[in-house]
Structure 1
Amino acid sequence: MTNMQDDAFWDTPVQEPLAPRAGRRSRGNRAATKVERVETRGRARALQALYAADLRDLTQLRKIATHVFDDLAVDPEERQFASRLVATVADKCAELDADLAQVTNNWRLERLGAIERSVLRLAAAELDRNETPVKVVLQEAVHLAERYGTTRSARFVNGVLDAYARKLGRL
Structure 2
Amino acid sequence: MLLSQDLAANLLGHPRSVSRTASTIMTARFASIALHRAASRLGRRFPLAASMLKQINQAATGADLAWQARIGPGAILFHPQGVVIGQTVTIGARCQIQQGVTIGGLGQAGAIVTPMPMIGSGVRIGAGARILGGVKIGDDANIGANAVVLIDVPPGRTAVGVPARIR
Q: TM-score under structure 1 normalisation?
A: 0.31
Structure number, greater radius of gyration: 1
Q: TM-score under structure 2 normalisation?
A: 0.31
Of Structure 1 and Structure 2, which has the larger fraction of its residues in helix?
A: 1
Of Structure 1 and Structure 2, which has the larger fraction of its residues in strand?
A: 2
